[in-house]
């Protein structure tokens, strides 16, 4: 049970050259043959895993949304326990303060990792080898090529959008298409 960040590139792109470029940023482009995802891609698109390690569970992509979801889930749980709105607000504030105090090192690392992701996306698009890079975040319960994955949406990301905020707030199962 792990999160993976996968990529979509044009099938005709020079994948070996792009893989070499990705490795300079701590990523890779290794072709995947997931029938679940590939049949949802547009003609002329290919699917790749980007991780060099075991998984992408510690990567900052989608982390902002995950923190928000955890907080909302905690608040709903406290409401079910009968807590008052003020008591829940105090508990959430204390939780946030504690997280900020203890997570300083982790936050700096996440900022560094997010900067590395931005550099990776920018480098791939600036290489002039592709005009578009797709990124898909999914939490796998099984094998990365065997699990049924449904791409809920294809979201185009313009050049002028705040990519850092977008990457940090990525939704699972949404294919983000970054453009040069």
CA distance 138 to 146: 13
Beta strands in the chain (DSSP E): 2-10, 30-31, 45-49, 132-140, 153-157, 174-179
What pLDDT score was predicted for residue 130?
95
Share of the chain above pLDDT 90, in %: 46
| Other beta carbons within 10 Å of 101 | 8
- The pLDDT score that the predictor gives to residue 70 is 46
Most confident of 16-30, 65-79, 92-106: 16-30
- Residue spans in the chain of domains classed CATH 3.30.70: 2-61+113-179
Is the pLDDT score of 69 beyond 50?
no
- Is the model more confident about 146 or about 117? 117
pLDDT (tens digit, 9 = 90+) per residue, 89-138?
777 777 766 666 555 555 666 677 889 999 999 999 999 999 999 999 99
Position 10 pLDDT exceeds 90: yes
Q: Give mean pLDDT, residues 59-74.
A: 62
pLDDT at 60 over 60: yes
Category of 157 on φ-ψ map: left (φ > 0), alpha (ψ -120 to 50) or beta? beta
Position of tokens 């508990």?
91
Output the average pLDDT for the chain. Answer: 84
Rounded-to-integer distance, Cα 60 and Cα 2, Å: 14
Q: What is the pLDDT of residues 162-180, one digit of tens each?
A: 888 888 889 999 999 999 8
For range 134-161, the mean pLDDT: 90
- What is the token pair recorded at 133? 């890079």
- Would you tell me which CATH number, out of the four given (3.30.70, 2.60.40, 3.40.50, 1.10.3470), belongs to the domain 2-61+113-179? 3.30.70
């Amino acid at each position: 049970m792990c999160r993976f960040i996968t990529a979509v590139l044009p099938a005709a792109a020079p994948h070996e050259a792009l893989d070499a470029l990705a490795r300079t940023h701590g990523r890779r482009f290794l072709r995947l043959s997931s029938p679940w995802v590939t049949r949802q891609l547009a003609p002329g698109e290919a699917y790749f895993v980007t991780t060099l390690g075991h998984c992408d569970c510690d990567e900052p992509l989608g982390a902002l949304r995950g923190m928000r979801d955890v907080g909302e889930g905690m608040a709903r749980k406290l409401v079910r326990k009968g807590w008052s709105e003020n008591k829940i607000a105090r508990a959430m504030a204390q939780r946030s303060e504690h997280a900020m105090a203890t997570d300083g090192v982790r936050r700096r690392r996440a900022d560094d990792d997010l900067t590395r992701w931005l550099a990776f996306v920018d480098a791939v698009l600036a290489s002039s080898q592709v005009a578009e890079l797709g990124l898909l975040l999914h939490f796998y319960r099984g094998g990365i090529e065997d699990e049924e994955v449904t791409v809920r949406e294809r979201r185009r990301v313009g050049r002028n959008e705040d990519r850092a905020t977008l990457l940090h707030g990525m939704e699972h199962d949404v294919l983000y298409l970054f453009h040069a």
